[in-house]
Amino acid sequence: MKRHLLEAADLDRADATLVLDTAAQIESALAGREVKKLPTLRGRTVVNLFFEDSTRTRISFELAAKRLSADVINFSAKGSSVSKGESLKDTALTLEAMGADGIVVRHGASGAPHRLATWVAGSVVNAGDGTHEHPTQALLDAYTIRRRLGRLEGVRVVITGDVLHSRVARSNVWLLHTLGAEVTLVAPPTLLPVGVGSWPVTVSYDLDAVLPAADVVMMLRVQGERMNASFFPSAREYSRRYGLDAERMARLSDDAIVMHPGPMNRGMEIAADVADSPRSTIVEQVGNGVSVRMAVLYLLLGGPA
C-alpha cells in the first residue's frame, strides 16, 4: 500500500484485493467477540477532518479507528478556527503538531486531500472531495459485491443516476474496472460528465434495456444541492425513466442485487419497497463500510497484514 489513499485510481489490483482480504480477516477476527476491538492501532491518533456535513462516513471512520484502539479526534469546520479564516494548510499543520498519525478528510473542493498530503507527514485518507472521488465507498461496494456474488471478475455492474456530481460513481468505475468487473453507466445526457467517453465503461440512456443482463444495479442519489440549473424536466419524469421500482426490479435476473451508497431519495431514484427488499444491500453496505475502513487504517497506519 502507498502512504495515502487519495483516489481509487491509485489502487492496483493487488492493493485493492489486499484491502478486501484484510477487511474479511478483520471481520472474522471480531465475529462472536463480546468486545469488538483489536489492539492494532493502540497509541496512534486518527483525526477526522470534515469540512462537509456527513453522518454515515464520519461515524463509520470514527468507529473503525476506535475498534482498532486508536485515539480519535473529530474536527468539524463549523465552530472551529476555519470559520475565522484559518486555511486548510494551517489547520492540518496544527493537528499534525498535536500528534495526528492519520488524517481522514472530507472537503467540498475536489483535490483538497491531494494538497493536504503534500503538507503533512502522516497518512491522508480521502473521505470524499467535491465531485472527484470517494475511494473507501468504492472499496466497501466492491467488498459487498464480492460477499454477495462470490466474485468481481466479469460481474456486470449498472450504475444509474447522477453520475455528473457523483464522486461515488467515479471511484466505483475505476476500482471495479481494476478488479475485472464490466461497468455500464445509465443517466440522462445532462447528468453525464464531459469526457465520459474516455472512461472504461459502456454508456446507455435506457435503463430498461440494460437491466436483464445486470448482476448489480447501483442507484445514485440525485444531488439537488450541487445542481445550479435544470438537469431534467421534473422529479416525476426522472423517476419514470431512471428510478428503480418493483416493476423494473422484476426485469433483473434472480441473483442480481440492488445497491445504493446513501443517503437515499426514496420515491425518486429508488422506490421504498425496492430499498427494503431482500435483494437490497443498502444496510449491509453500511456495516461493511466499518470493516473496510478498519482495513484501510490498519494497512496505512499499522503495517502490512
User: Which residues are identified as catalytic?
Assistant: 56-57, 84, 106, 134
Using DSSP, state whether 241 is helix, strand or coil.
Answer: helix
Contact between 47 and 100 (Cβ < 8 Å):
yes
Residues 274/250, Cβ–Cβ less than 8 Å:
no
Rg (CA), the chain: 19
Q: Is 158 helix (H, G, I), strand (E, B) or coil?
A: strand
Contacts 24+ apart (CB under 8 A), 198-207: 199/173, 200/173, 200/174, 201/173, 201/177, 207/158, 207/160, 207/241, 207/242, 207/244, 207/248
CA distance 249 to 242: 12
- Name the H helices within 98-193: 112-117, 135-149, 167-178
C-alpha cell recorded at residue 7: 483516489
